[in-house]
Amino acid sequence: MDTTVDLDTFSSLVERPDESARRAADERWQALDRPRGGLGQLEELGSWLASVQGHSPVRPLSAPKVLLFAGDHGVASLGVSELPADGGTAGRVRAVLDGTAPVAVLARRFGARVRVVDVAVDADPDDFPEEVTRYRVRRGSGRIDVEDALSAEEAARAFRAGMAVADEEADAGTDLVVLGDLGVGSTTVAAVLVGALCGTDAAAVTGRGSGIDDRVWMVKCATVRDSLRRARPVLGDQLALLAATGGADFAAITGFLLQAAVRRLPVVLDGVVSASCALVAQRIAFRAPEWWRAGQSTGEPAQAKAYDRLTLVPLQEQKITMGEGVGALMSLPLLQAAADTLAEETAVLPGLPDAPAVPRVQPKLPSAADLLGRV
């Protein structure tokens, strides 16, 4: 079976957001009878939204979606997390689907829908609805300090699954994705990817994750160190890196981020997991980060290093470390306020031409099926 994915294609397909729409939004802000810069961060965010929408005046955010990729990791068996390795991820998925998890509660409050994509949860697939498990690649991922997380074929399948999800959301009219993850042991994996891509040692990228103590941190740091030794030989091949020291959820998130940029779908990143995948995706398409915003700072050292490389500044300093997209979701009201303020206050301003509207879904934008037909 052919397990290749033409990653080079993304570099040419990912375009920059619409600069003319950004300039038009800036001109509208300046034309208001307000102190220049008086709305602070709302002005910059409103102009960014205009650019990713390709439209000025900016449209209010009417269909935001919280998207959670779920997967288990073999390194969790080493006790690198305060969360239980056996059934911990499955339990969190159930809480989200039941509507009792914090992300579900906040999403209802902020008017966002929630979608869970199970790509590697170590549970019987019959435990969850079919729409949750239909992109399942395997049950859990390998213990990356001693073995590959995935085979090459599994990494390609997960990457393609993420691309397909991006197409589904773009075609459904989702206008902003809050991207999160569900997985015990995932911050250990993220630290390895960031450490490998930034050329740092284990201690510089190993954080406290789920709230671990010094003893567990030392175990986690040693695990990251051993995994970095396995990651460095494959740094030149991003898909091989994800197979060796990533996981199915990491491969899927990376594929999602790249295809979302192709489809001009803006994304808010959550914690260190989405930040590490964004760093991998940047290696593939250097313009892709312009379609993303960093929702919050968790305090994880690997996240800070990733955002520094991506030149992304967190919108908030919430230091929410639980994952599930909760921290990024807390930035949604800020983005909604930016869109609403610019849309309503600048709706009618004489003498200022509107930027040409760009349809949400353009026929020329290639879907995952179009791209995969080339490999």
**Which of the residues are catalytic?**
324
Contacts of 308 (CB under 8 A, 6+ apart): none
In order, the DSSP letters of 312-337 are ---SB-----S-TTHHHHTTHHHHHH
Element (H, E) at 229: helix 214-231
**Ordered strands of the 113-120 beta sheet:** 113-120, 64-71, 176-182, 267-269, 292-294
Instruction: Please say whether the beta carbons of 352 and 27 come within 8 A.
Output: yes
Q: Which of 360, 337, 363 is nearest to 45 (CA)?
A: 337
> What is the rounded distance in angstroms from the CA atom of residue 216 to the CA atom of residue 214?
6
Q: What H or E segment, with its residue span, contains residue 299?
A: none
CA–CA distance, 116 with 181 (Å, rounded to integer): 9
Half-sphere exposure of 264 (CA within 13 A, CB side): 22
Structure tokens at 168: 């589904």
Count of other CB atoms within 10 angstroms of residue 66:
28
The neighbour count for residue 151, using CB atoms within 10 Å, is: 14
Q: Is the peptide bond before 129 cis (omega within 30 degrees of 0)?
A: no
